[in-house]
Chain A
Amino acid sequence: QVQLVQSGAEVKKPGASVKVSCKASGYSFTNYGISWVRQAPGQGLEWVAWITAYNGDTRYAQKLQGRVTVTTDTSTSTAYMELRSLGSDDTAVYYCARDWNYVIDYWGQGTLVTVSS
């Protein structure tokens, strides 16, 4: 069955960087893309970025462009999201989700990133 398993919670200081992983199983990783979505406490969903494992093509939300980078490692079927220059408003649960051909179906369990001094 399709599974996306994310790395554990992180606590970071303002100005630091965080890298969240998302390990895929149960499907052909290179045939699909991965979207990253975040949700601040008590807030709605916000799309962050997308990458295709096929050729590494990426798309980013304008608001975060320049601070976020998404990558994949096809040898381990793992996607990564790195966010730099963290501020308190980056505190959120970060999700990965399988995304290809305008279909988003399976989601990871989420990773809580807390930014606090």
Chain B
Amino acid sequence: QTVVTQEPSLAVSPGGTVTLTCACSTGAVTSGYYPIWFQQKPGQTPRALIYSTSNRHSWTPARFSGSLLGGKAALTLSGVQPEDEAEYYCLLNYGGVWVFGGGTKLTVL
């Protein structure tokens, strides 16, 4: 059973930069896992932010960027806004099967 691990919670000040990571129990995350990142605010449907490691959707603000960092998938928020406070989930593909991480609760202090 593949396990995908994210930081349970992180905090950042408005205007700051924060990096969320996504690790898998099978080893290093590579582009072949097609990492996806979602944002979910309380009571709302998840919103797709990043696909295939680093590609933004047309609606994704430029302050969100995806990458691979130290064997993990990473989501970096630069110039954090108060409205970025949310739960963030990563998703990895294992041969056609998707596995979610447990989510990171991002607090903007």
Contact = CB atoms under 8 A, between A and B. Distances in A.
B46 to A, nearest CB: 6
Nearest to B97: A59
Interface in A73-117: 95, 97, 102-110
A71 B89 CA distance: 26
B74 interface: no
A109 B45 contact: yes
Given A95-B46, A104-B51, A105-B48, A46 B91 contact: no
Q: Is the interface of A mostly helix, strand, loop or mixed?
A: strand
A48 B4 CA distance: 15
B93 interface: yes
A37 B100 CA distance: 10
Contacts of B99: 47
A88 B104 CA distance: 26
A61 interface: yes
Interface in A37-80: 37, 44-47, 50, 59-62
22 contacts: A35-B98, A37-B100, A44-B87, A44-B89, A44-B101, A45-B38, A45-B46, A45-B100, A47-B98, A47-B99, A62-B1, A62-B97, A102-B36, A102-B51, A102-B52, A103-B52, A104-B51, A104-B91, A105-B57, A106-B48, A107-B48, A108-B45
